[in-house]
Amino acid sequence: MNTKPIDIVVPWVNPDDENWKKDFDFWKEKETGNKEPCRYRDWKLLRFVFRSIEDNCPWCRYVFLILSSPSQIPDWLNVNNPKLKIVYHKDYIPSEFLPTFNSNVIELFYPNIKELSDNFILINDDMFFWNKKDETFFFENDTPVMKPAYVYYGSNRHQWEITCQNSLNLSNEILGKKSVSLGFPGHIPVSYNKMLCSFILYKIKNKISKIFKHSKFRQNNNIMHFLYCDIHLFTKRFICNNEYRGQIVGLLGKDFTFNDKSPLMCFNEGELTTEKNMIDLLKILTKKFNKISSFEK
């Protein structure tokens, strides 16, 4: 039985916002890093994320929507919903890292959000609570539920994989371990305890300053929130549940299929994603989550 509430945190960016574009255009000329258009595209999925939460997560206390500024608020969003908390980057990310266009920075500092419960679930705007699960699917006795998947990377690695490995290396350094494997649930919603994450964040504050000093955009030296996941796993501050899994569907420019019975779903786009992919996905989402949520006007 959980004694603490459970919150859900989701970051979002509106690439059509003129204020955001002005900052983005300025910094992309001054700093290096990953500026792939797919990192910032908006395919109008966010309202369906909210619908999936309302349909399948009735136990959720608050949804924290993370934005860079007030000009980013979606025009369809019901800002008066009592379950909605809008948090801006300046509210929880140290000023030395702002403005930022780096999701690693945005997610790593979540433990600084004052109102956030000790039990929280980190998601992205391409992730959906596809079918209803009670709160014990994510937390048992206020302990995160995970299904570790140990992954070994080869020499030709994507930047995301390099960042995962960096995070593992740092977790080993913090804990004095020499693990060569990375344990993480995958690119699906992940449950964390804020107290442990806050302690880790404090322990590495000097390293973070060096890593992200000139990293407005993702770079190969970055770490990411899977650092928290690694330490939850290595210190056994988690409950293993083999049923805790989701499906990651790559939108790779061709027709895609998925398991409609999956509890969690991620429709992951990339450079190969086409407009047809997203039209097909929006049709699926509109059918699946056809009821307007209280988070919409």
What domains, with CATH codes, occur in the chain? 6-288 (3.90.550)
pLDDT in tens, the chain (297 residues): 899 999 999 999 999 999 999 999 999 888 877 767 667 788 899 999 999 999 999 999 999 999 999 999 999 999 999 999 999 999 999 999 999 999 999 999 999 999 999 999 999 999 999 999 999 999 999 999 987 765 555 555 678 888 888 998 899 999 997 776 655 557 889 999 999 999 999 999 999 999 998 899 999 999 999 999 989 988 989 998 888 888 989 898 999 999 999 999 999 988 889 999 999 999 999 999 999 999 999
| Contacts of residue 110, Cβ cutoff 8 Å, sequence gap at least 6 | 9, 66, 92, 116, 120, 122, 194, 197, 225
One-letter amino acid of 254 = K
Extract the tokens encoding 80: 């008066």
Amino acid, res. 237: R
The pLDDT assigned to 154 comes to: 52
- CA proximity to 89, closest of 62, 63, 108, 61: 108
| Strands in the chain per DSSP E | 6-11, 60-67, 84-88, 119-122, 127-129, 139-140, 143-146, 149-151, 182-184, 190-193, 239-240, 246-250, 264-268
Q: Which residues pair with 277 in a beta bridge?
A: none
| pTM, two decimal places | 0.95
According to DSSP, the residues that pair with 60 across neighbouring strands are: 6
pLDDT at 263: 95
Q: What is the three-class DSSP state of 186?
A: coil
